[in-house]
């Protein structure tokens, strides 16, 4: 008798977990469809959607490897049916990266993981970006330079702006970064 009661309760618990998980998947897919573009770069899936609210600055903390670059703005990317978001690094050893220290509000772009650059102080804001005139998350550095933070999570981050000047001349504006550490 105890076995039957135990099995019946286990079935009810598992059934409610499956329904709850399915609900989360469906609601997650609905929220992702808002201005979302999906693609894969070097085996890294990126679903690009603009963050709907303020992004916590601590999400930026760490070392980020540049894995994808799109030649155009986020708006162009969201309209493009077949976006080419590939990136080929010129580095023979290491990779192009950017290091953020959120607690000290500074970042450092590093070319090929070895060339030491200077730390740049920044402030992260959520509001009307003076460059794009849209309400969004953005980084201001060197008094009037801006990088839009499209989205950031524990594995990937998408930035728009003049992140890598050597690529900006060819029209690159949107960058996919993968968290290294």
Q: How do residues 131-165 score in pLDDT, each as one tens digit?
A: 888 899 999 998 888 999 988 888 888 888 887 76
The structure tokens listed for 155 are: 């594995």
- Tell me the β-bridge partners of 164: none
Dihedral pair phi/psi, residue 56, rounded to 5°: -65, 130
The mean per-residue pLDDT over the stretch 53-73 comes to 86
* Predicted local confidence at residue 140, as pLDDT: 92
Provide, rounded to the nearest whole percent, the portion of the chain with pLDDT above 90: 12
3-state secondary structure of 38: strand
Exposure string for 55-77, b = 16+ CB within 10 A, e = fewer: bebebbbbbbbbbbbbbbbbeeb
What gap in Å lies between CA 136 and CA 50, rounded to an integer?
8
Q: pLDDT: is 86 or 104 the higher one? A: 104
Asked if residue 38 has pLDDT above 80, the reply is: no
Dihedral pair phi/psi, residue 119, rounded to 5°: -75, 140
Q: pLDDT: is 172 or 14 the higher one? A: 172
Exposed/middle/buried for residue 83 (C-beta within 10 Å: 0-12, 13-18, 19+): buried
Asked if residue 28 has pLDDT above 60, the reply is: no
Q: What's the CA angle centered on 47, arms 37 and 21, to 5 degrees?
A: 120
Confidence band of 96 (pLDDT split at 50, 70, 90): confident
What gap in Å lies between CA 82 and CA 140, rounded to an integer?
31
What gap in Å lies between CA 151 and CA 44, rounded to an integer?
15
* Predicted local confidence at residue 138, as pLDDT: 92
What gap in Å lies between CA 164 and CA 111, rounded to an integer?
9
Report the candidate in 40, 95, 45, 35 with the shortest Cα–Cα distance to residue 65.
95
């Amino acid at each position: 008798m105890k076995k039957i009661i135990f099995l019946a309760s286990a079935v009810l618990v598992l059934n409610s977990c499956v329904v709850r998980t399915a609900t989360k998947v469906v609601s997650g897919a609905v929220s992702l469809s808002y201005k979302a573009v999906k693609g894969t770069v070097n085996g890294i899936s990126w679903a690009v959607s603009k963050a709907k609210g303020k992004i916590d600055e601590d999400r930026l903390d760490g070392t980020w490897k540049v894995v994808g670059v799109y030649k155009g703005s986020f708006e162009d990317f969201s309209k493009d049916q077949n976006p080419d978001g590939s990136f080929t690094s010129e580095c023979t050893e290491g990779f192009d990266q950017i290091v953020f220290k959120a607690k000290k509000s500074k970042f450092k772009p590093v070319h090929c993981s070895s060339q030491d650059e200077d730390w740049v102080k920044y402030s992260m804001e959520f509001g009307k970006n003076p460059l794009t005139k849209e309400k969004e998350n953005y980084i201001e550095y060197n008094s009037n330079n801006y990088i839009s933070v499209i989205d950031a999570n524990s594995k990937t981050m998408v930035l728009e702006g003049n992140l890598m000047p050597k690529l900006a001349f060819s029209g690159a504006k949107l960058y996919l970064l993968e968290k290294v550490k």
